[in-house]
Amino acid sequence: MRALVSFNARYWLPLTLAVLATVTALSLSPLPELPLPDVASSDKLHHLLAYALLALPASIAGPRGWIWIALGLVAWSGLIEIVQPFVNRHREWADMVANGSGVLIGSTAGTAARRYLQ
């Protein structure tokens, strides 16, 4: 377990940036046609999980000011929601709520893991 914490302490930034790039690419890749609202609402769990995973490495590593990183991730999700209509996607503020909830869950889990392992 200590090896995992050591690995994360060394590589939290590249891990976070890799997940951020993946989430951004998936969120902004154009759709050939917009899904029906009933189908689109089933993706909130995906948003929650993606942003929890996104917040996890920084919160486990606990770099100085990591809380600002978490707030930046929430702001980034808001920017993505603003841009999505330009790439044939829906702008759903409920997605941002799911994203923010994911950041909160990932940050809480990472902080708890860091404290437990110290």
Evaluate the CA torsion angle 52, 58, 60, 65 in order and state its sign: negative
How much is the pLDDT for 114? 87
The reported pLDDT for the residue numbered 63 is 87
Name the pTM for this structure. 0.86
Q: What is the mean pLDDT of each run of 10 residues along the chain (118 residues)?
A: 73 94 93 62 86 94 90 97 90 92 97 87
Q: What Å distances lie between residue 88 and 17, 34, 81, 91, CA to CA?
A: 25, 7, 12, 10
The answer to whether 19 touches 53, Cβ cutoff 8 Å, is: yes
Around Cβ 72, how many Cβ atoms within 10 Å? 14
Range of the domain at 71: 2-117
Tokens of 14: 């590249």
Helix (H, G, I), strand (E, B) or coil at 78: helix
Number of domains, the chain: 1
